[in-house]
Amino acid sequence: MEAAEHDKRKCPSHLSTTECTKQLLPVKDALDILSGKWKLQIILSLTFGKKRFKQIQREIPGLTPKMLSKELKELEINELASRHVYDTSPVTVEYELTAYGKTLKPLIEELHKWGTKHRKKIIARAVRD
Amino acid sequence: MEAAEHDKRKCPSHLSTTECTKQLLPVKDALDILSGKWKLQIILSLTFGKKRFKQIQREIPGLTPKMLSKELKELEINELASRHVYDTSPVTVEYELTAYGKTLKPLIEELHKWGTKHRKKIIARAVRD
DNA sequence: GATATCGGTATACTTTAGGAAACCACTATA
DNA sequence: TATAGTGGTTTCCTAAAGTATACCGATATC
């Protein structure tokens, strides 16, 4: 009975349908880290070194403090960036990519590679038609 | 003057700030293809072979025909999936990943790899605390 | 003749993401 | 004493994403 319920058209023979969707969870996690309007730009900005709050905001036109604050908190929660407060006046806060945060690099490069090919393909079609 | 305007803390020395953000466009393109609530599951479903509309819908619980229709159209527009209509009764429509659509696989695997590590890290921390 | 299946579409609704503007305590500068 | 900069928060609002439900014409089955 159990074996008969498995439909080979849906999933590879060694995986049940629910196991398949479980495989998607980590992919969605990774995607969540990178998607959204500002995350990539903020991460990119931090790949070039430590940055202060206003400094990031100035670099990224249109980015409001609310959004920046929210995104930086998420980066911290995910241990991708660290926050350092210095007791100066006015207070200095620096954000920095962690070593772990830097492990995103190959992933972003892979996205860049595929995206570049895709741009070419879509633009080529637009010219053709 | 022009050279002096370039801030090395922001971007690598060979790129201007605007050139940097241009580099992000293809990354965003790739991300757009994969993000959204259903895209990944639909693509995954099609990696196991041709599928009919209702068949996909039955495989993915919660997916409404409106969303499925919309996502399939986007996949078609991006040439990731193809649509074949057969003049049977009732009409048969099959969707299939194109060869190009299959080039997403290494990208999704990369996301899976990073996401799996990330899950472990975050779960380990949750257990620790 | 009623019901079900096929591949969708149409309309109305809720939920989430993001934007605009004002504001906070603190301090340095003019 | 006024102004500007620091790192944010709060409130209100709009736009986009997604959900629920009903419906369509065609045909096959009961």
- Reading the block at residue B129, the tokens are 């605390």
CA distance A87 to A119: 47
Return residues 14-43 of B near A (CB < 8 Å). Answer: 17, 20-21, 23-31, 33-35, 40-41
Which CATH number, 3.30.300.30, 3.30.360.10, 1.10.10.10, 1.10.1740.10, labels domain A38-128?
1.10.10.10
For B22-50, write each residue's pLDDT tens digit. 889 999 999 999 999 999 999 999 999 99
CA of A75 to C1' of C9 (A): 41
Which among B68, B27, B35, B33 is positioned nearest to B51, based on CA atoms? B68
pLDDT mean over A60-67 = 96
Instruction: Provide the b/e sequence for B46-73 (b: ≥16 CB within 10 Å).
Output: bbbeebebeebbebbeebeeebbeebbe
The CATH architecture that domain B37-128 belongs to is Orthogonal Bundle (1.10)
Q: Where are the beta strands (DSSP E) in A11-60?
A: 51-52
Answer for the pair B114, A105: CB distance below 8 angstroms, yes or no.
no
Q: Residue B10: its pLDDT value, please?
A: 47
- Those residues with Cβ within 8 angstroms of residue B108's Cβ, 6 or more apart along the chain or in another chain: A27, B34, B40, B43
Chain B residues inside the 8 Å CB shell of A122: 78
Q: Does A49 touch chain B (CB under 8 A)?
A: yes
Check CB contact under 8 Å for A103 and B114.
yes
Q: Residue B75: its pLDDT value, please?
A: 98
The 10 Å Cβ neighbour count of residue A113 is 16
Q: What is the pLDDT of chain A when averaged over all its residues?
A: 88
Q: Residue B9: its pLDDT value, please?
A: 42
The domain locations on chain B are 1-35, 37-128
ipTM score for this prediction: 0.89
Return residues 65-124 of A near B (CB < 8 Å). Answer: 78-79, 100, 103-104, 106-108, 110-112, 114-119, 121-122
For B84-126, write each residue's pLDDT tens digit. 999 888 899 999 999 999 999 999 999 999 999 999 999 999 9
CA of B81 to C1' of D24 (A): 26
Higher pLDDT, B87 or B11: B87
A125: left (phi over 0), alpha (psi -120 to 50) or beta: alpha
Residues of chain B above pLDDT 90, percent:
77
Higher pLDDT, B86 or B21: B86
CA distance A34 to B40: 15
Residue A17 backbone phi and psi in degrees, to 5:
-60, -45
CA distance A50 to A69: 16
